[in-house]
Amino acid sequence: MSAHKTLVFQPIGDDLAISTMQNWHITVADDATPSEQYATEAFQKWFNKATELALPLGTAHANGGEIIIVASPTLGDEDIQITVESGWVQISGGKPRGVLYAVYQFLEELVGIRFLTAEHTYIPDASALKIPCGSYAYSPPFSFRWSYYGENAAVPEFAAKRKVNTVTDAENLGGKTQQQLINHSFHALVPYGTYGESHSEYYALVDGKRDTNTHGGGPQLCVTNPEVIEVATASAIQQLTERPEATNISVSQADTAAYCRCETCEALNAAEDSPMGSQLTFVNAIAERIEKAYPYVKVGTLAYWYTRKPPKTVKPRHNVQIQLCSIECCTLHAIDDPDCEQNRAFCQDTNEWGKICDDIWIWNYNTNFRSYDLPFPNLRSVAPNVRYFLRNNAKGVFMQANGSGLTGELSDLRNYLISHLIWDPYLDSDVLLNEFVTLHYGAAAPTILEYITFLHDNVEARGLHPRCFPTPEDVGLDAESAQTIFDYFRQALALAEDPEIRGRVEKASIPAYKAILVAGSDMEATKRQRLIDDYIALCERYNMSHAAETQTAEAYFEELRAQ
């Protein structure tokens, strides 16, 4: 715990030996919140598994020490404080989630437990452990953290262990942050079904005609029309009235390029050298009105596609959040890698936004949306990207990945890596990756690590810059590399020492089958059919629901069978 750069540790004295805690008890307040109670029981359970100490709850012993687990009203929602002394331990955190996160932090960093997947928790033999006495404190830099994997949504108890604060309202798990993901919202603010016929002038003028396309949450709005500002404001305030717990609201463009080219909008965009000129002016106007009714609510808007470039002079109001979307970026290289030409424009825009806004949000892409289970070489860029976002005033991070199902390319590893880094961006990603692979895949781990190295080195050597919709060729797959990857996993399966490890390796091997099917050399029909059957069987065994963002696994299986 004390090794983390962002964690404050102040030593007190000698180490606390687990062997001296035989007569200790665990104290929780009589009026404990559901989250405090759950945190206490979680501590008792996992501490017992690691140390074999069955510490009672809420029972005083004259000769024993105590572990106090308490939610502190003086701490931020997710702040944690841990004090370890020779005769007592206090684990405290803010309400509503901080106390639970503090317990998991203690168990992970001071006891050595690792919450790897929803089904796999690594529990060390901690019976001889000594914990350094001292005071530990941490405050997470990102208040909105979403590692977007199906496993987190399916098992919210596991998401809480990974400190992902965006997936559940369960009170015992501390609920989720009341900040909402900033997303396309024009369609909800000025619904075309309500105003389209009577007020076509509310909508974007494109090529001399008012836009009527409702695709992507459209049509876009004429953002300089004074009536549109008032209608959108009234809609936003009505949403906040219905959801008084909300701390932000999205006022943002539709997912199309058909933004308004009327004379007023175009003049403003030309003067600001970006279509964000008119968009941000519109958002600022609504944010000013919302502040009068809800002074503590932030107004969020996307800096995405044509609005990514900041305006020359218009700046976000103090209650405006800017969410940057990195959809154009190379996923192999870090966004601030000076040698990656593909990322320079986004990097430049992010730097400029960071200078004029202190509440940046990030929508980052961490999968191949064209093929969730194709090998995807971005593991080296995750950590530097998260740290780069933090340096540019990011407060919220949406790491979009395979949120549709429980099986995607190395989704277990990726969720572990990403959730750790958005909690503490200065963790060593290489240590995290090696730790997960070693603990999760046992004797097969060295071969899987070799595969990961080969995957990234192969793309680097070819000078490729894959984005988040890459083809097999974009990620360096051809007959030779696909066969190499397939061979790695055949070797890993041979090394799996028991059925449980073999199952984990089988799940991880699905992308190897996909690679050989889409990029392998020509093969005899019977052999290809056998590979297809094996691939489909693995996907079904490990609950792959989607082959791509817009294609179910079953639909893809039908395509393969037809071939």
How far is residue 127's CA from residue 17's CA, in Å, rounded to a whole number? Answer: 9
CA–CA separation, 470 and 476 (whole Å) = 10
Residue 84 lies in a domain: yes
Q: What pLDDT does 64 receive?
A: 76
CB 344 within 8 A of CB 398: no
108: alpha, beta or left? (left if phi > 0; alpha if psi -120 to 50): alpha
Q: How far apart are CA 468 and CA 244, in angstroms?
A: 36
Six-digit token pair at 551?
């294609």
List Cβ neighbours of 542 (8 Å cut-off, separation of 6 or more): 406, 407, 506, 507, 510
How many structural domains does the chain have? 2
Token couple for 201: 């002038």
What does residue 92 show for φ and ψ, rounded to 5 degrees?
-130, 155
Determine, yes or no, domain membership for 413.
no
Provide the pLDDT for residue 62.
Answer: 54
* Look-up of token digits 């069978």: 561
The conformational region for residue 410 under phi > 0 = left, psi -120 to 50 = alpha, else beta, is left
Within a domain: 229: no
Phi, psi of 56 (to 5 degrees): -75, 160
**Cα of 388 vs its chain's centroid, Å:** 15
- What is the C-alpha to C-alpha distance for residues 82 and 74, in angstroms, rounded to an integer? 14
Residuewise pLDDT in 10s, the chain (563 residues): 333 444 667 777 789 999 999 999 999 888 899 999 999 999 999 999 999 999 999 755 556 799 999 999 999 999 999 999 999 999 999 999 999 999 999 999 999 999 999 999 999 999 999 999 999 999 999 999 999 999 999 999 999 999 999 999 999 999 999 999 999 999 999 999 999 999 999 999 999 999 999 999 999 999 999 999 999 999 999 999 999 999 999 999 999 999 999 999 999 999 999 999 999 999 999 999 999 999 999 999 999 999 999 999 999 999 999 999 999 999 999 999 999 999 999 999 999 999 999 999 999 999 999 999 999 999 999 999 999 999 999 999 999 999 988 889 999 999 999 999 999 999 999 999 999 999 999 999 999 999 999 999 999 999 999 999 999 999 999 999 999 999 999 999 999 999 999 999 999 999 999 999 999 998 899 999 999 999 999 999 999 999 999 999 999 999 999 88
Nearest to 512 by CA among 467, 448, 443: 448
Q: Please report the DSSP string for 32-82 in residue order.
A: --HHHHHHHHHHHHHHHHHH---PPBS---TT--EEEEEE-TTS-TT-EEE
Q: What is the pLDDT, as a whole number, of residue 3?
A: 37
Report yes or no: 142 and 364 within 8 Å, Cβ to Cβ: no
pTM: 0.95
Tokens of residue 499, six digits = 């059925």
Tokens for 326, please give them.
Answer: 């990195």
pLDDT at 153: 95
- Buried-exposed string 488-515: b where 16+ CB fall within 10 A, e elsewhere: bbeebbebbeeeebbebbbbbbbbbbbb
CATH number at residue 40: 3.30.379.10
Domain-terminating residue out of 97, 124, 139: 139
Decide if 151 is inside a domain: no
b (16+ CB within 10 A) / e for 137-153? bbbbbbbbbbbbbbbbb
| Number of Cβ within a 10 Å radius of residue 435 | 17
Domain containing 481 equals: 439-562
CA-CA distances (angstroms) from residue 328 to 169, 306, 386?
33, 11, 17
Q: What is the dihedral of CA 163, 168, 174, 180, to 10 degrees?
A: 80
- Asked whether residue 287 is assigned to any structural domain, the reply reads no
SS3 517: helix
pLDDT at 4: 40
User: Residue 563: what pLDDT?
Assistant: 81
Does any domain span residue 179? Answer: no
CA dihedral 67, 68, 69, 71 (to 10 degrees): -160
- CB of 99 within 8 A of CB of 35? yes
Backbone φ and ψ of 12, nearest 5°: -115, -50
CB neighbours (10 Å) of residue 266? 17
Last residue of a domain, one of 83, 106, 139: 139
**Taking the CB of residue 32, how many other CB atoms lie within 10 A of it?**
17
CA–CA separation, 463 and 318 (whole Å): 42
| Structural contact between residues 405 and 546, judged by C-beta atoms closer than 8 angstroms | yes
Separation between Cα atoms, residue 506 and residue 542, nearest integer Å: 9
DSSP letter at 90? E
Residue 320 inside a domain? The answer is no
The string over 379-393, giving b where at least 16 C-beta atoms fall within 10 Å of a residue's C-beta and e elsewhere, is bbbbbbbbbbbbebb
Given 139, 156, 191, which residue is the final one in a domain? 139
Q: Is residue 443 part of a domain?
A: yes
